Structure 1
């Protein structure tokens, strides 16, 4: 029964990782093609490409560790190799959280109407400070990922089926785990939550303004605001779930079954988060519609050919009769 449950979580985690990998490859490809056509990259597109690239490598790490766990392979020839791989995974994990945090900030700056001069200056300086923001976020992610991976010995890791008693590792290494968790997970969550909170308040103000100026409650402007409100609320729920799941996963607060659930949350969050980002991006939605139109066009072009073959067969049969 335990093996069945474990296999179920492995299949679900592998499916979500594969889905997230495809989605983020699509995000990167769409933005790169748009960059080649327009010869310029907007700050939002830079963040989206950076986030997509970090998540592509993160999903590769997830799939590798799932494959290693299912096949019971000795994928790490030495302890140093395990440390290096964990550093890489934590770097991609932390950097994706920091990039997603800056996306929340950018959403709020883009939608909100500022009367404060400092916020106006920040909005105007975004194109110039975007590259330093990406570099500093990457340095922070690598630093604390390195601290976590190279100072923790062997903790209980459901990813690799490694189990060590808590009193041998967790209690001694807590001083390294807390700073890494704080700067890798909690700070991005805190800033994202504050940005989402102010963004939800701004959207409510816009909705009240639209309702006062429009007698019809089904106006396109109101529907756009309601859609944005649902997206931001969903992102906040996902951020909170990911923080809780990561807390239980990193600090060994639960049983093997609960750690499987936490591991599934860790795989599901970046995939679903990318889906929500696509639904809130007009350019990416247009790319999806173009792909769907091409697929429909291919099916429509095949249908008349099959009908033509059926009609020709009927004609030959009638002629033979």
Structure 2
């Protein structure tokens, strides 16, 4: 039974890996092509490019680290390349999360309508606000890497004092839990900001529908459609990232028992977020959706 489940998880992981690379690569290709041809690119497309690149890196990091941990655990315990793997995973996950959050803020400032002076100030200077938030995220990234580096040095110090294999494996499990806990704590801020953006978008849509008196025309006007489309994108991000955090939580538990089956389950859930959310971004973006339909039509015509 265990071998069957491992085979199923392997097939799903391969499918997620292919979908994730294709969807994120497609976002980068289409937007970069437009950038070259038109010599300009909208702020949202710039965000999508960096987001897609970070998610490609995240997908590869998850698969490589999980594979090494399952099949060559001595590489982790000896510390060979461990710092590089953890730091690169942290960086790619940081930008994958924060850029999706920034995308939520961008939709909020562009679509929502409030009379609050502070909101109007931010709305009029949306591009500068997005840039400042992006620069501010580097502070969180620096603190995150600093905290992880402290855990790493403490783990290496303990391993140098006791070089037995059993001690190294058990101590690595404790180190892994500490690192994942740190990553999760630093992920709460952007997740909370995205959640607030989602709630404000709902409130703005509610006010807009009340203004339109819930008429049939009101259900079809462009602002209503923009609200609903933005809500779909933000809620999909929140749900998928919640599943990603769930995989990390399960992984904390499995680290103590070194259960390969549970590790593969965590990998499957973890890759689902950066792969499928990018696919939903394509479907929710008119330009990307039209380009994907055109590509699919050409591929179908050649067959």
Same fold, judged at TM 0.5 (above): yes
Aligned to 1:265: 269
Is 1:234 paired with 2:236? Answer: yes
CA contact (8 A) 2:9 2:268 kept: yes
Aligned to 1:316: none
TM-score, normalising length: structure 2:
0.79
CA contact (8 A) 1:83 1:150 kept: no
Aligned to 2:50: 50
Higher alpha-carbon deviation: 47-56 or 284-293:
284-293
Q: 1:207 to 1:165 in 2, by over 3 A?
A: farther
Matches within 5 A, 1:160-199: 168=171, 178-183=181-186, 185-199=187-201
Structure number with greater Rg is: 1
Aligned to 1:293: 297
Q: 1:25 to 1:176 in 2, by over 3 A?
A: closer
Deviations 1:76-111 (A, max 9, x none): 796141211111012101221111111111111111
Q: Secondary structure at the match of 2:214?
A: helix
Unaligned runs of 5+ in 1: 155-161, 300-321
Higher alpha-carbon deviation: 194-203 or 223-232:
223-232
Deviations 1:276-313 (A, max 9, x none): 212221111121122133234445xxxxxxxxxxxxxx
Larger proportion of helix: 2
Paired residue total: 290
Is 1:111 paired with 2:115? Answer: no
Q: CA RMSD in A?
A: 3.5
1:169 and 1:66 mapped to 2: Cα distance? 14
Deviation at 1:23, TM superposition (A): 0.6
TM-score, normalising length: structure 1:
0.75
Q: 1:253 to 1:207 in 2, by over 3 A?
A: farther
Unaligned runs of 5+ in 2: 157-164
Deviation at 1:42, TM superposition (A): 2.0
CA contact (8 A) 2:122 2:129 kept: no
Deviation at 1:118, TM superposition (A): 1.7
